[in-house]
């Protein structure tokens, strides 16, 4: 068991003092200054951005969706694939024009990408208009770092190479009033050979149960109806706490017991740690959504070993059979990497066979992206880009056919759905989600936002359902 560092409440109070100083400074301006927070990547990054917005709100900033109007821009970055990094760098490069037009504008970069040393050096040398760079481990000190930029006008880089810590009591400004993220743990100990996350997010460290449950109770009392528990591998929750009987299944039971009418979701589970105890708990807890996102990444055992995934194809399939025996209507989603170094087309065929056997409701599919500093980046990779693209297309075509068939099976059924957002499609002004997370477009009174309603499904496409009030 590792010892998790927990930030002293006095240190958090000191950050709030910096918020107060910046707020006083902003109050003296002719108009309230504005902030723009842009987020790339996963739900954990979204949750981190909510804390950044919480700090900015306490500092007296309003918010804008326009970079040109912002006095402070914060870009929360992702390092999981090269494409995400290139998008960030392209957008940051374009902001040099905004900086010239608005010299007092402060540009901050944070998140996973800036925890990589080669990216920090690139920002230091080639992106001189960036004022503040801080990694995930330094997020809790954002007020102090911004104060230093405001008062000293020097560039600041704060990307400590450490295992990570837990900081409680940070302010949160959530994007909506229906759905909420709750981080239950941070970091990862798995070191899959292709993944940069353990290097940039640090080691697994669990929040204390009482802190998590207090946050969930507050969300329930505030009327949130869809609460997602977040962690890089939620099934490892509690291993560092040293509390007998405290694991993720136990935590689900405790969250389920919190009063209120809300759904519990969670991401992400790792197959090597998924257990029958978890599946029994999901089946027994009425608030836990009948949905599991369980990445399998590849269907060939040699490739899985090269990925350091810690399970076999048959073990994964047995997990799915076990889960479906308990929850027959479970909605299953997963992640797949195509073109891992050394994967042959024959080995890729095993991935297609997993799709055919499991019949996932939806997949998140990616062509392998090498990450500097990971073991997989050093492996020989003889398969051509064209062959990988062809395999990728075969995967997408097969999954699209499966998804379309699974979606069509909903037509004629009446589903309890949560109305969670206004639609941008004028033909259907509301969007809702089934308990299993399937998107439903329908028309109705906007007062239904945040409510559970019964929808009769009238039509389906590959990615969405269409319904009407039952």
Q: Which residues are annotated as a binding site?
A: 42, 78, 112, 188, 192, 195
CA 72/CA 63 separation, integer angstroms: 10
Task: State phi, psi for 379 to the nearest 5 degrees.
Answer: -80, 145
Q: Hey, how many other C-beta atoms are within 10 angstroms of the C-beta on 377?
A: 15
Only one residue has tokens 């608005």, namely 102
CA 179/CA 383 separation, integer angstroms: 42
Compute the Cα dihedral for 90, 91, 94, 96 and give only its sign. negative
What CA–CA distances, in Å, run from 117 to 79, 153, 231?
Answer: 12, 23, 24
CA atoms within 13 A on the CB side of 165: 18
Which helix (H) or strand (E) element contains residue 366? strand 362-367
Report the binding-site residues for [4Fe-4S] cluster: 42, 78, 112, 188, 192, 195
Q: Hey, how many other C-beta atoms are within 10 angstroms of the C-beta on 197?
A: 22
Q: Hey, how many other C-beta atoms are within 10 angstroms of the C-beta on 50?
A: 20
Task: State phi, psi for 155 to the nearest 5 degrees.
Answer: -75, 140
What DSSP string runs through 191-239? Answer: --TT--HHHHH-S-EEPPHHHHHHHHHHHHHTT--EEEEE-TTGGGTTT
Interacting residues of 118 by C-beta distance below 8 A, sequence separation 6+: 372
Tokens of 22: 């910046």
CA 5/CA 204 separation, integer angstroms: 11
Question: Do the Cβ atoms of 74 and 80 come closer than 8 Å?
Answer: no
Question: Do the Cβ atoms of 224 and 177 come closer than 8 Å?
Answer: yes
What DSSP string runs through 371-402? Answer: -TTSGGGGS---S-HHHHHHHHHHHHHHHHHH
Grouping H, G, I as helix, E, B as strand and the rest as coil, residue 94 is helix
Interacting residues of 214 by C-beta distance below 8 A, sequence separation 6+: none
């Amino acid at each position: 068991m590792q010892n998790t560092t927990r930030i002293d409440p006095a240190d958090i109070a000191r950050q709030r003092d910096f918020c107060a100083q910046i707020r006083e400074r902003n109050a003296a301006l002719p108009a309230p200054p504005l902030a723009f927070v842009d987020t790339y990547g996963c739900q954990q990054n979204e949750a981190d951005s909510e804390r950044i917005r919480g700090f900015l709100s306490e500092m007296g900033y309003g918010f804008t969706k326009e970079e040109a109007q912002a006095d402070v821009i914060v870009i929360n970055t992702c390092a999981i694939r090269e494409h995400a990094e290139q998008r960030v760098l392209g957008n940051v490069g374009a902001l040099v024009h905004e900086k010239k037009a608005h010299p007092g504008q402060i540009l901050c970069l944070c998140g996973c990408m800036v925890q990589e040393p080669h990216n920090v050096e690139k920002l230091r040398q080639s992106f001189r208009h960036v004022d503040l760079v801080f990694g995930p481990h330094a997020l809790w000190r954002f007020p102090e770092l911004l104060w230093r930029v405001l008062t000293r006008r020097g560039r600041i880089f704060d990307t400590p190479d450490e295992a990570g810590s837990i900081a409680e009591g940070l302010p949160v400004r959530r994007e909506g009033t229906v759905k909420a993220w709750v981080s239950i743990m941070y970091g990862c100990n798995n070191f899959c050979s292709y993944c940069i996350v353990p290097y940039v997010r640090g080691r697994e460290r669990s929040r204390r149960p009482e802190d998590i449950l207090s946050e969930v109770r507050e969300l329930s009392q505030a009327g949130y109806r869809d609460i997602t528990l977040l962690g890089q591998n939620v099934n490892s929750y509690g291993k560092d706490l040293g509390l007998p009987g405290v694991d993720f299944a136990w935590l689900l039971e405790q969250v389920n017991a919190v009063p209120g009418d809300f759904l519990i979701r969670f991401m992400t589970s790792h197959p090597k740690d998924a257990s029958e105890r978890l599946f029994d708990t999901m089946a027994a807890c009425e608030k836990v959504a009948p949905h599991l996102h369980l990445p399998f990444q590849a269907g060939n055992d040699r490739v899985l070993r090269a990925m350091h995934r810690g399970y076999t194809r048959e073990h994964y399939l047995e997990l799915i059979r076990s889960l479906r025996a308990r929850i027959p209507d479970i909605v299953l989603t997963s992640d797949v990497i195509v073109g891992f170094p050394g994967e042959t087309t024959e080995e890729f065929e095993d991935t297609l066979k997993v799709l055919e056997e499991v019949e996932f409701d939806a997949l998140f599919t990616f062509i392998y992206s090498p990450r500097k500093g990971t073991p997989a980046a050093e492996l020989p990779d003889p398969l051509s880009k064209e062959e990988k693209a062809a395999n990728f297309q075969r995967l997408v075509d097969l999954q699209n056919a499966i998804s379309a068939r699974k979606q069509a099976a909903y037509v004629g059924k009446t589903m309890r759905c949560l109305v969670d957002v206004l639609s941008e499609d004028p033909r259907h002004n509301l969007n809702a989600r089934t308990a299993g997370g399937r998107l439903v477009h329908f028309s109705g009174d906007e007062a239904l936002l945040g409510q559970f309603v019964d929808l009769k499904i009238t039509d389906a496409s590959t990615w969405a359902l269409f319904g009407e009030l039952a």
